[in-house]
Amino acid sequence: MSHNNQPLTQVPAVYHKKIGEVAVTVVSDGNSTLPFWPYYELVEDKGKELLHNNFETSPLVLNTNCFIINVNGQLTLIDAGLGMGVGVVLQNIKAAGVDVNDIETVLLTHIHPDHSYGLIHTDGTKAFPNAEVVVRDIEYAYWMDNGNIKNPLDEIESANFKMAQDAFAPYQGQIRTFTNADKEPVSGIQAIEAPGHTPGHTAYLIESNGEKLLIWGDILHNAAIQLLRPEEKIIMDVLPELGVETRKRILEFAATEKLLVSGMHLDFPGFGHIRKQEDHFVHIPEKWQPTL
């Protein structure tokens, strides 16, 4: 009897959680390695030490999560992943038993490519044929205007703008923006202002039957570094100082309110709580639950 057919991959990265009456399904878009040192004010050796002390590798490996929110049978996907034939969110949505045609809304935390370029297939067509795309007004306005490119010679920045515009192109007529006066841009999902990483970066709070979940977008890119040192900016921050201010505010909010949190770049599935310890924060992962 042969035992050589060893597994090569994990089962699909799908995890379900009930928040009161609301069903939340985390679907991973997979991992990517950051090809540069993103914490530009942090001495690289110190950064590597922080990572290695946490048994992590350098360069950074970045997991990306997306969230299917089922409110009374209405399906909203928070963030669409990277697409490009690299991201695996569509495979995991299917593995979760959801048909992309049934997703009515794609609600974005912000428009960086690892959150929005998955709106389209590699041929530029819609990945979510029936969805309305919903995003904060100032976020949409920023990325649709090439006049906001700070450095036209920066290939990554220019590519981010082009990818943002390409991702939205096939959805014209199905795009809705909201203002900070819209407390609930999608029924059952509250918007929490969290600007800095991008101008209209937004976190979302789900509340049902007294239970709450804060999906905070890109408040953290790497927990080992930014929970210990919340002041660490990342190269992708559009408004870095404001981003640090927002990070500290959201972490304080989560810790004080003892909120269940998850985020796009916390390790899958990301659910946990934030505890404050003196001058830094700790993420305590929630235990895996076999039943909902």
pLDDT digits (tens, 9 = 90+) for 203-214: 999 999 999 999
Run of H or E residues at 225: helix 223-226
Q: How far is residue 32 from each of residues 67, 162, 272, measured CA to CA in Å?
A: 18, 20, 22
Distance CA 125, CA 166 (A): 10
Q: Which residues contact 11 (CB under 8 A, 6 or more apart)?
A: none
Q: pLDDT (tens digit, 0 to 9) for every residue of the chain, 292 residues total?
A: 556 789 998 999 999 999 999 999 999 999 988 877 899 999 999 999 999 999 999 888 999 999 999 999 999 999 999 999 899 999 999 999 999 999 999 999 999 999 999 999 999 999 999 999 999 999 999 999 999 999 988 999 999 999 999 999 999 999 999 999 999 999 999 999 999 999 999 999 999 999 999 999 999 999 999 999 999 999 999 999 999 999 999 999 999 999 999 999 999 999 999 999 998 999 999 999 999 8
Task: Please say whether the beta carbons of 50 and 58 come within 8 A.
Answer: no
Q: What is the pTM of this model?
A: 0.96
